[in-house]
Amino acid sequence: MTPEIQPGIVQVTEDKPKSGLEPGYRVICWNDPVNYMDYVTHVFQVVFGWARQKAEFHMLQVHEQGKSVLARESMEKAEHYVHQLQRYTLHATMERDE
């Protein structure tokens, strides 16, 4: 007897490594005592195309909490943003989302 095949939800629990294409990397800006707050806000506006209010929110998060997660992206995009932020000498890194 052939077992009956029914449609259903397949749960994949395999813990596979994140590929470079799927969102799984955080772009983080860390606080430092040297960069001006206005400068950080300006850089966020230029790099991410954000409105001033959103850029200021993240700048204040960096200033008050020591860091801010600016984006969750694929590895390539996260890397691109970190390159852009470091061109402006901000303390930015990419970290795997865990």
Partner 1 sequence: MKLVRATRTRLLFHLGRQETRLLPQILKLYPRVPPAHHVLSQSGRIPDREANQRLLDEALAEQRAENRQLVQALLADPRRFARTETGSRLSLPPVEVEWLLQVLNDIRVGSWIALGSPEVKLSALNEHTAPDFYAMEMAGYFQAQLLEAVQGEK
Binding footprint of partner 1 on the chain (CB under 8 A): 17, 20, 25, 28, 30, 33-36, 38-39, 42, 45-46, 52, 75, 79, 82-83, 86-89, 93-96
For residue 98, the minimal CB distance to partner 1 (Å) is 8
Tell me the C-alpha distance between 1 and 30, whole Å: 63
Name the minimum Å distance from CB 11 to partner 1: 26
Residue closer to partner 1, measured from CB, 42 or 61: 42
Nearer to partner 1, 31 or 61 (CB): 31
Whole-angstrom distance, CA of residue 25 vs CA of residue 35: 24
Ranges of beta strands (E only) in 1-98 are 25-30, 67-73, 92-96
Sheet holding 67-73, edge to edge: 67-73, 25-30, 92-96
Residue type, 58: H
CB of 72 to partner 1, least distance (A): 14
